[in-house]
Amino acid sequence: MLKKLQERWKVNTLNLVLVIFTFALGGSLCGVAGRRILNFTGMEKGVLWILLYIILITLLWPICVLLISIPLGQYRFFRNYLHKIWNRMAHNETKPVSIAIFASGAGSNAQKIIDKFRRDHSVSIALIVCNKPGAGVLEIAANENIPALLIEKTRFAEGDHYLDELRDKKIDIIILAGFLWKIPVGLINAYPQKIINIHPALLPKYGGKGMYGNRVHQAVIDAREKQSGISIHYVDEIYDHGKIILQASCPVDEHDNADTLAAKVHALEHLHYPDVIADLVKNKNRS
Ligand code: GRF
């Protein structure tokens, strides 16, 4: 139960204790304040008193928890929490779109995606899926208090594809950001047009099995291409093949090597991937 709350609110154990304490103290404080105010009016206890009391504590509660959250260092959490409640009530916002990021590398794209949606309550980055123990992205997951799932190849490729874990987190969209294993057909069928990938070159060239990381950039340089870039695409059963959503390019200069080209491509990825995902989420919310 506490673990679930911690995952939902994306807080560490100490902050979870402080958040619960703030809820409890804020609740009692607004109860006492509400009673004091009504006593001050000299009003008789009755139906009207109860009605006014309910209205008063509804108004006082956010103020009380915010005030208490400041000395306890939880102001940011409560500001976001109240903002979320307000959006749900005022704009009739529905449940957030739940995203799983599949990544097995440093996770710089994962970090940019997390940053993009940090204050956007229509999206929840609910799970990081990784196949490489020690990958940088796992550290990011831990720092951001996002649950991480370390997967094993046979179960992923030939077993149940971890569908139960994805359903448990109510995942709506899967984002591949540096995930090298082929996505099994069973998973593609479970998430039709809901899995997207980013490839660090202008597809259909320089894609396919084994084309990842600096191998891609070296191939582009060896072929004396004048341009490289990124391709964001839906995932189908063939490597780097599904329908393209967006491509963006950068020049390949004469003095570029695989590392300098990788840096340019990475900058393009960070610029465009979070925005493409935001568009996808908007469209999902409309459909
Ligand atoms: C990116 O270049 C992406 O295009 C490719 O894998 C790399 C992941 O980089 N699919 P990072 O782990 O996000 O830094």
Domain ranges of the chain: 2-91, 97-286
Handedness of CA 61, 67, 70, 72 (dihedral sign): negative
**Residue 140: pLDDT band by 50, 70, 90 thresholds?**
very high
User: Going by C-beta distance under 8 Å and a sequence separation of 6 or more, which residues neighbour residue 98?
Assistant: 124, 126, 169, 170, 171, 172, 173
**Residue 287: pLDDT band by 50, 70, 90 thresholds?**
low
Q: What is the pLDDT of residue 84?
A: 81
User: What is the rounded (10 degree) CA torsion for 55, 58, 60, 65?
Assistant: 170
Cα(233)–Cα(197) distance, integer angstroms: 6
Q: Exactly one of 83, 121, 161, 199 is catalytic; name it.
A: 199
Q: What is the pLDDT of residue 283?
A: 79
Res 209 pLDDT > 60: yes
> Measuring from atom 10 of ligand 1, which residue has the nearest CA?
178
pLDDT tens digits, residue range 18-32? 999 999 999 999 999
Q: What is the pLDDT of residue 225?
A: 97
Q: What is the pLDDT of residue 160?
A: 94
Q: What's the rounded mean pLDDT across residues 102-122?
A: 93
The residue type found at 213 is G
- Phi/psi of residue 8, nearest 5 degrees: -65, -40
Mean pLDDT score of the chain: 92
Res 286 pLDDT > 60: no
Q: What is the pLDDT of residue 285?
A: 62
Q: What is the pLDDT of residue 12?
A: 87
Whether the Cβ atoms of residue 233 and residue 197 lie closer than 8 Å to each other: yes
Alpha carbon distances (Å) from 233 to 199, 201, 261, 270, 283: 8, 12, 21, 15, 16
Question: From the CB of 276, is ligand 1 less than 6 Å away?
Answer: no
Q: What is the pLDDT of residue 43?
A: 82
Handedness of CA 69, 70, 75, 79 (dihedral sign): positive
Question: From the CB of 106, is ligand 1 less than 6 Å away?
Answer: yes
Q: What is the pLDDT of residue 2?
A: 79
CATH class of 97-286: alpha beta
Work out which ligand 1 atom sits closest to the CA atom of 199: 4
Three-class SS state of 250: strand
pLDDT tens digits, residue range 255-280? 999 999 999 999 999 999 999 999 99
Q: What is the pLDDT of residue 5?
A: 82
Structure tokens at 75: 């102001």
199 is catalytic: yes
Whether the Cβ atoms of residue 229 and residue 220 lie closer than 8 Å to each other: no
**Residue 87: pLDDT band by 50, 70, 90 thresholds?**
confident
Which of 128, 174, 198, 268 to probe ligand 1 with, by most ligand atoms within 8 A of CB? Answer: 198
Which of 102, 109, 209, 212 to probe ligand 1 with, by most ligand atoms within 8 A of CB? Answer: 109
Whether the Cβ atoms of residue 202 and residue 268 lie closer than 8 Å to each other: no
Q: How far is CA 74 from the centre of its chain?
A: 21
Indicate the pTM of the whole model.
0.75
Work out which ligand 1 atom sits closest to the CA atom of 262: 2
Q: How far is CA 93 from the centre of its chain?
A: 17
Q: What's the rounded mean pLDDT across residues 67-73?
A: 94
Whether the Cβ atoms of residue 129 and residue 100 lie closer than 8 Å to each other: yes
Q: Shortest CA distance to 182 belongs to which of 165, 161, 202?
A: 161
> How many other CB atoms sit within 10 Å of the CB of residue 136?
18
Q: What is the pLDDT of residue 8?
A: 75
Q: What is the pLDDT of residue 92?
A: 65
